[in-house]
Amino acid sequence: MTGPSPSGAFAQLPSLGELLARFLHSQAEAEFEMIPEAGEVELHQPSGLLGPDARTVLGDALEPAICLLDGAASASLRKSEVKPPAEWQGLVRNLEPRPAIACCVGNYPQLVKDFTPLLALESVDALRPQPGRPVDFFGVDAWAEERLARHRPAEALFAVGMFRLGHQFDKARDLLDRVREVTGSSWKPLLDNEAAALDWSQGDLERAAEAWARHPAADNPVILFNRGLTALCLEEPNAARLLERAANAWPDRNAWRHLASVYFTLSESL
């Protein structure tokens, strides 16, 4: 799928293989930073073997909220301030690889896990979200209720992301509605993105595309990324331009930037 050739930072973009190598290297560096100090005993798995470390990807899973919220609400979602429910670690470890990942709370670029299918991709059909068996959670409902009772809606929204990842879409949507009830207008950009991501995850790409196209934060990298990814899956010619803008809006070491770069290259090659 090709459209107008983008200019700017990606005019001389490396090959897809080089981009994937950079992406994996950045994740290896992130996990290296998680090595415990002397005297602390901890098993540490190398990046890319059994899936990413749940602590390592937490910051990336919170990035959409940090980008779309302002002030104290955004600051409260920094990695050091959030303690996800116990089920988060098992969810990260056991999720199947997903080639296309919307930028929303709970999702993280390392969920791609296996880049081989991306390297051999011949059709955008393989990028579309696929049905999956719902994951049984035993403590996330109570954790979310407790967060709402303590007036911590941002953390309750993290549970929305977990339910969505686990294909518990009804629970995710119900909890998202409850978060809307206890938050003000400043939360609307974030919650609208989460609602569109639910449509995306359930395979309704057209509805998700419409929601992201009319999103008020049109220049936010989260929205640019999601519009670009959806355009890629729908074979629309503006995919490359949107993904280029999304990648350029994030810092060099940001994992979402690397993934936007990969999808940009795919949009040029398919």
What are the pLDDT digits (tens) for 168-177?
999 999 999 9
State the pLDDT at residue 20.
55
pTM: 0.83
Judge whether residue 12 has pLDDT over 90: no
Number of structural domains the chain divides into: 1
Q: Which residue has the higher pLDDT, 247 or 20?
A: 247
State the pLDDT at residue 34.
38
Flag whether 54 is in a domain: yes
> How far apart are the C-alpha atoms of 266 and 103, rounded to whole Å?
17
Flag whether 106 is in a domain: yes
Judge whether residue 218 has pLDDT over 90: yes
Residue 126 parent element (H or E): none
Q: How far is CA 256 from the centre of its chain?
A: 7
Flag whether 118 is in a domain: yes
State the pLDDT at residue 244.
97
Q: Which residue has the higher pLDDT, 116 or 169?
A: 169
Flag whether 255 is in a domain: no
What integer best gives the mean pLDDT of the chain? 83
Flag whether 176 is in a domain: yes
Range of the domain at 74: 50-208
Flag whether 15 is in a domain: no
State the pLDDT at residue 41.
29
The mean per-residue pLDDT over the stretch 101-126 comes to 88
Judge whether residue 220 has pLDDT over 80: yes
State the pLDDT at residue 76.
65
> How far apart are the C-alpha atoms of 222 and 135, rounded to whole Å?
26
Q: Per residue in 17-32, pLDDT tens?
A: 555 555 554 544 444 3
The mean per-residue pLDDT over the stretch 205-220 comes to 97
Q: Which residues contact 195 (CB under 8 A, 6 or more apart)?
A: 173, 176, 211
Residue 100 DSSP one-character state: -
State the pLDDT at residue 17.
54
> How far apart are the C-alpha atoms of 212 and 70, rounded to whole Å?
19
The mean per-residue pLDDT over the stretch 128-152 comes to 92
Flag whether 228 is in a domain: no
The mean per-residue pLDDT over the stretch 97-122 comes to 88
* Residues written for the chain: 270
Flag whether 173 is in a domain: yes
